[in-house]
Amino acid sequence: MSRRWQGSFTLALLLAPALLWLGCLIVLPHVDLAILSFREREGPRHYVASLAQYRTFFAEPLYWRVFLRTAIISVLATALTLVAAFPIAWVIAKLARGRSGSLLFIVCLIPFWVSETVRTLGWMILLRQSGVLPGLLVKLGLAGVPPELLYHDATIFVGLVYTSMLFMLIPLISSLETLDNSLVEAAYDLGASGFTVLRTIVVPHAAPGISAGCIIVFMLTLGNYLTPALLGGKNSQWFTEQIYTQFITRFNWEQGAAFGFLLLALSTAIVVAGLRLSGQRFGDVMRGT
Amino acid sequence: MTAPDLLADAVVKRFADHVAVDSLSFSVDRGSFFSILGPSGCGKTTLLRMIAGFIAPDSGDIVIGGKSMRGVAPNRRPVNMVFQQLALFPMMSVGENVAFGLARRGTPKAERRKRSEAMLERVGLAGAAHKRVDELSGGQRQRVAIARSLVLEPTLLLLDEPLGALDLKLREHMKIELKQLQAAFGTTFVYITHDQSEALVLSDHVAVMSGGRFEQLGTPQDLYYRPATPFVASFVGANNRIVGRATRLDGQTAEVTTAEGWTILAQRHAAVRLGDSVEAFVRPEAVNLGRSESELPPGRVAHAGVVESLLFDGANSAVLLRETRTRREFRIALPQTGQFADLRVAEPIFFSFDAARATCFAARKP
C-alpha cells in the first residue's frame, strides 16, 4: 500500500518539471491566446466575444496570401533540405567508417555553435551587393556590376535549408545506421539497380527518420522569423512577421493571437496530411528517431 | 561433358598488405554441391563475394556458365546469394520477397505471383506468401531466403554460412533439408562454412581453405581418410596429433619418435625423409582399447596409458587418456558395444592402432 503510494509519488516528482514546463509555458499561454483571439475591442478596456479577428484574416487578401506563401515555401524548403541532407546522411551513416564518420558529423554540427543571428548575418556578408560573392562574380567576369543576391525568394530558400540541415541529418543518420548493409547487397544481388534499391529498400527502411526530419524541419521553417526577415528583407512576406507586426507594431494582440492559432492549425494540418500520405503514425515516427 | 558452372582462374585479392585470396584456380561441375571449408579469416568470404561480384579480383578471372564475369555487376550476374543473416526484406511480405528478383526482371505481376507461390510451395511454405517475414520461424526464413534466390533460376547459388544463426537442433534439420533441396532443384550450390560437419554432410566436393589457398580439394571421404596436409588432418574431424622426428623409414611406414622417446608407427606422406621433424595424426576411432596387451589385435605396437577423463556423448563417446611415458593426451572413441562402459578415471589401459590408419607429414613451418 505505502510502497505503491511511494511509487506514484516518485513518478509525480519525476514528471513534475515536464508537467510544469508544459503547463506554464505552453498550455497556459495558449489558453490565454485562444481567449484573446476570440474577442474584439469595442472601447477602452471593453471587449466582446467575436470572430472578427478570423474574419479579418479571410477578408484581407494580403494576410491569407502571405499565409499560403509561407506554407508553400516551407513545404518546398523541407523537400529541398531532405534532398540535400540524404546523400550527406548516407555518407556519414554508411560510407565513412568510425572516426571519419564522427568527424563529418562534427563538421555539420560546428556552425550551430554560432548563434543563428550571427550565422544569418554571415550569409548577408556573403551575398549583399558589396559582399564577397557578388564581388567574386564581377572579378570572374560573370557579371558587369555586382548583382544584389539578397532579398530574393531563392536567398530565403538557401537560408532556410542551411538552418534546417542538422535537424534533418540527425534523424536520417540514425535511421540509416540501422539499415543492414546486407539488405542493400541482397537487393542488388537479386537484380535491382541503384535507384530501385533506394526506392524499395532504403527509403522504406528510413521512412520514420525521413518523416521525423521533415516534421521537425517543416515546423522550424514555418515558425522561423529571423531567416526570412534578414535574407528576404521587406519582400520576404513571411507569416511570422505578420504576427510580430500585430503584436509589437500595432499592439493588436487579438489579431496576432488569431494569426498564431491559424499558423498552429496550418502546421498541424500539413503534418497530419504528410503522415497520411506516407502511411505512417506520429508515435512510430517519433519512436524511430 | 558440359562446361563447369564455375571456373576460377588464378584469382587474387589483396587487402593492403594482406593477401586474402592467393592465386586460386578451381572449377565446380554443373549440379554439384561444392563447399569451401575454412576457419574465419581464411579468405572464403572474400572468395564468395568475388564470385557474387561485390568485390573485384585484383587479377585472374571468374567464369560463370562459360562467361567471364570481369566487369559484370552483381545485379547482372547469373548468380544469387543466400546471406549469412539471410537479409530478407522486413518491409515486404514473404511473397514480395520471393517475387522481388522477378519484378526487377520485368516479369508481369500475375506471373510473378504464380511463380513465387509455386516456389514457396516447392520449399514447403505453401500459403505463406501473405505473411510478414517476422512471423516466420528461423527454418522457414531460411527456406524463404533460398526460394527468393532459386526462383530466378541462377546458374550458381552461393550460400554464406546460412546455418550459422540457427540453434543446433534446427541446424541439423536444415542440413538435411538443404541437401534435399539441392538434389531436387539440381542447381549448383557453392557453400562456405567453418563447420566441418556441414561441409562433410552436404557436399559432393569440399575445398579446405587456409591463408587464401586451398589446402586440399576433394570428396568428403578424401579429406577425412586421405588428408593431403597436416592442416586438413587437424581441421577436418577429430584427430590426435603427435609431434616428433622420423627415426626410421620402412617402405610406406615411418617410425615417429617424440622428444620424450615415445615411438609410434604411421603411414608416411611422400615428402617425409629420415630425420625430418614430423606431425603424425591418428583418428580417435582408428584406435583399439584393451585392459591388457593380449586383448589388443595381434601384430601391432601396444601403447600404455592412464584414463584421464570419460567424455560421454551417446554414439560419439570417447575416453581421454594420457600416454604413460610422455603424459601426452590421447583421445580414443569408445566402441558402441558398451565393452568399455565401466571404464574408471585413473585406470591403466592399453591401446594400439594400425599404422596404415595413422598418417605422418613433414612438420609445418612455424
pLDDT value at position A5?
80
- Of the candidates A189, A200, A201, the beta carbon closest to that of B75 is on A189
Q: Are residues B170 and B289 in the same domain?
A: no
Is B152 close to A191, i.e. CB distance below 8 A?
yes
**Is A1 a member of any domain?**
no
Is residue B107 a part of any domain in this protein?
Answer: yes
CATH code for the domain of B182: 3.40.50.300
Instruction: For chain A, give the percent of residues with pLDDT over 70.
Output: 97
Whether residue B75 and residue A188 make contact (CB cut-off 8 A), yes or no, is yes
Does one domain contain both B242 and B227? no
CA angle B251, B254, B256 (to 5 degrees): 170
Is the confidence at residue B366, as pLDDT, over 70? no
Instruction: From residue B127, give the alpha-carbon distance in Å to each of B115, B152, B174, B235.
Output: 13, 20, 21, 43
> Does residue A82 form part of some domain?
yes
Angle at B90 between CA B88 and CA B93, to 5 degrees: 90
pLDDT of residue A142: 86
**Residue A34 in domain:** no
Any domain includes A7:
no
Contact B193, B174 (CB under 8 A): no
Instruction: Return the pLDDT at A81.
Output: 97
Q: Which residues from A are below 8 Å from B148, CB to CB?
A: 190
Report pLDDT for B272.
Answer: 85
- Residue A89, Cβ neighbours under 10 Å: how many? 27
Contact A130, A149 (CB under 8 A): no
Burial B101-130, CB ≥16 within 10 A → b, else e: bbbbeebeeeebbebbbebbebbebeebbe
Complex ipTM: 0.84
Cα B31 to Cα B77: distance, rounded to the nearest angstrom = 18
Q: Which DSSP state fits A236? A: -
Using CA atoms, how far apart are residues A188 and B100, in angstroms rounded to an integer? 11
Tell me the CATH number at A213.
1.10.3720.10
Contact between B244 and B256 (Cβ < 8 Å):
yes
Q: Is the pLDDT of residue A44 over 90?
A: no
Q: Note the pLDDT tens digit of each residue in A225-282.
A: 999 998 988 778 899 999 999 999 988 889 999 999 999 999 999 999 988 888 777 7
Looking at every residue in chain B, the average pLDDT score rounds to 91
Chain CA centroid to CA B361, Å:
21
Q: Which domain holds residue B353?
A: 238-362
B165 and B85 in one domain?
yes
**Structural domain boundaries enclosing A138:** 51-284
| B79 touches A at CB < 8 Å | yes
Residue of A188, A191, A201 with shortest CB distance to B89 = A201
d(CA A127, CA B163): 61
CA distances from B90 to B74, B80, B342 (A): 22, 19, 54
Q: How many domains does chain A have?
A: 1
Residue A227 grid cell: 531567416
Chain B residues near residue A204 by CB distance under 8 angstroms = 91
Q: Which one has a higher pLDDT value, B271 or B208?
A: B208
How confident is the model over B98-107, as a mean pLDDT? 94
Residue A180: list chain B partners with CB under 8 A.
85, 87
Phi, psi of B275, rounded to the nearest 5 degrees: 90, -10
pLDDT band at B193 (very low <50, low <70, confident <90, very high): very high
Q: What is the pLDDT of residue A288?
A: 53
- H or E segment at B122? helix B109-122
Chain A residues with CB inside 8 Å of B55's CB? none
- How many structural domains are present in chain B? 2
Task: Give B17's pLDDT tier (boundaries 50, 70, 90).
Answer: confident
Give the pLDDT band (50/70/90) at residue A211.
very high
Q: What was the pLDDT predicted at B342?
A: 86
Nearest to A180 among B75, B87, B105 (CB): B87
Evaluate whether residue B1 is within a structural domain: no
Residue A38 lies in a domain: no
* Region of poorest pLDDT, from A107-116, A202-211, B173-182, B194-203: A107-116
Q: Give the chain B residue whose CA is nearest to the CA of A181.
A: B87
pLDDT at B301: 87
Q: Does residue A219 carry a pLDDT above 90?
A: yes
Residue B219, pLDDT score: 96
Lowest-confidence range among A108-112, A251-255, B125-129, B220-224? A108-112
Mean pLDDT computed over B201-214: 94
Q: Find the mean pLDDT for residues A212-224.
A: 93
Domain boundary among B188, B216, B231: B231
> Which of A183, A192, A200 has the CB atom closest to B87's CB atom?
A183
Residue ending a domain, choose from B231, B256, B277: B231
Per-residue pLDDT band at A1 (split at 50, 70, 90)? low
Same domain for B211 and B63?
Answer: yes
Whether B25 and B125 share a structural domain: yes
Asked if B88 and B112 sit in the same domain, the reply is: yes
CATH assignment at residue B274 = 2.40.50.100
B207, B255: one domain: no
Report yes or no on A2 lying in a domain: no
Same domain, B225 and B242: no
Looking at the domain assignment, is residue A35 inside a domain? no
Q: What distance, in Å, lies between the first and last C-alpha atoms of chain B?
A: 43
Q: What DSSP designation does B228 have?
A: S
What is the reported pLDDT for B2?
64
Q: Each residue of B107-137: pLDDT tens digit?
A: 999 999 999 999 999 988 998 999 999 999 9
In the Cβ-directed half-sphere of B42, how many Cα atoms lie within 13 Å?
Answer: 19
Taking residues A12-22, report their average pLDDT: 90
Residues B222 and B260 in one domain: no
Query: Does residue B101 sit at the A interface (CB-CB below 8 Å)?
Result: yes
Residue A258 lies in a domain: yes
A190 pLDDT more than 70: yes
pLDDT in tens, B295-347: 888 888 899 999 999 998 888 889 999 998 888 889 999 988 888 888 889 99
**pLDDT value of residue A109:** 87
Contact A191 B105 (CB under 8 A): yes
Among residues B204, B231, B258, the one where a domain terminates is: B231
Are residues B182 and B244 located together in one domain of the fold?
no
Percent of residues, chain B, with pLDDT higher than 70: 99
Q: Please tell me which of the candidates A182, A191, A204 has its beta carbon nearest to residue B75.
A: A191
B195: left (phi over 0), alpha (psi -120 to 50) or beta: beta
User: What pTM value is reported for the model?
Assistant: 0.82
Phi-psi region of A86 (alpha: psi -120 to 50; beta: other; left: phi over 0): alpha
pLDDT for residue B1 is more than 60: no
Q: B265 and B209, same structural domain?
A: no
* Residue A17 C-alpha, separation from nearest chain B C-alpha, in angstroms: 39
